[in-house]
Structure 1
Amino acid sequence: MNNPTIVFDPYASAQLRNIVQTFVNNHNIAVTGRVEWYPVAFFLKDERGEVLGGLLGNIWAGWLHVATLGVAAPMRGRGFGRELMQRAEAYATERGCTNAFLDTFSFQARPFYEKLGYRVFGMLENHPAGHEHYFMTKQLTLPQ
């Protein structure tokens, strides 16, 4: 460890990426005492098992983070995105989450998320050029 070097590797394996993530996780646990972390993954599949959409994210420290929501173009406008979000929020509240957050661009789904009760709490202008990047949050209702 006398002479470490920095190596650029955009295609690093999941194993290498997990090593780096573990450094962050260990620090977060040491500082917050919050060890619970749950992956979130819901998929929309057809009868053959082909993926037509999905939601990916995680739960940590009482928050649901929706990292990715995507539905194939022919399936959009049929309520599947809403159902994926509702399922993820229900899963999160079952695990004690009281809030959710996500980000979206001006050319993506801000109105969709607003209809689901999300509100903008931050924005990057001109990211990408000519567009805005929105950060949104929602307070979740715990089951009775």
Structure 2
Amino acid sequence: MIFTPVHTHEFADLVKQKIAEFNAQHWDASKRQQLGLKLENEKGELVAALAGRTFGHWFYLESLWLDEKVRGKGVGSKLLIEAETLAKARGCSFVILDTLDFQAKPFYERHGYQLEWTQQNYPFTGCKHFMTKRL
């Protein structure tokens, strides 16, 4: 048996598709939906964005990004609250996310998120925090 190395995004996507096909045999994923919000400035440039997906009782918040120019002005809080509201309207009761040690842990804590566990030495000397919130 010889395994062939394949280090591409396309291959990783293929593997994810194979897992999705297997999972579909065990649960109905048809209600899985993307959830995204954006804010653009007067020039049409992206200044804030949030992306994730909802499935069953859970909203997985994958990414929340703010341009330096809008940080500290309440934009992130409004963006997060709007996303939570949309997720709740879809029937979600919980949110899960992860954030790196230099990112937004205090921000999420201010919004009621609880630390579930911390992955140490990620990727080398930092850490990744996994957090949840009940909506």
TM interval, shorter chain, is: 0.7 to 0.9
Task: Give matches, 1:68-79, under 5 Å.
Answer: 68-79=63-74
Unaligned runs of 5+ in 1: none
Q: CA deviation at 1:91?
A: 0.6
Q: What is the alpha-carbon distance in structure 2 between the residues aligned to residue 130 and residue 21 of structure 1? A: 28
Residues paired across the two proteins, number: 134
Q: Residues 23, 90 of structure 1: CA spacing in aligned structure 2 closer, same or farther, 3 A cutoff?
A: same
Task: Name the residue aligned to 1:105.
Answer: 100
- Report the TM-score, using the length of structure 2 for normalisation: 0.87
What CA distance in whole angstroms lies between the structure 1 residues aligned with 2:18 and 2:33?
A: 17
Secondary structure class of the residue paired with 1:22 = helix
Aligned to 2:116: 121
For the pair 1:133 / 2:128, whether they are aligned, the reply is: yes
Q: Distance in 1 between matches of 2:75 and 2:51?
A: 14
TM-score, with structure 1 as normaliser: 0.82
- Give the Cα–Cα distance (whole angstroms) in 2 for the partners of residues 130 and 6 of structure 1: 28
SS at match of 1:134: strand
2:103 counterpart SS class = coil
Unaligned regions of 5+ residues in structure 2, if any?
A: none
- Displacement of 1:26: 2.8
Residue of structure 2 in register with 1:93 after alignment: 88
Question: What are the superposed Cα offsets for residues 5-50 of structure 1, whole Å, 9 maximum, x if unpaired?
Answer: 553323x39xx83x54332223223223343111011011112211
The one-letter code matched in structure 1 to 2:105 is R
Q: 1:1-144 maps to which residues of 2 (within 5 A)?
A: 7-10=6-9, 12=10, 17=13, 19-140=14-135
Identity among equivalent positions (%) equals 31
Alpha-carbon contact 2:119-2:127 (below 8 Å) kept: yes
Q: Distance in 2 between matches of 1:34 and 1:117?
A: 28
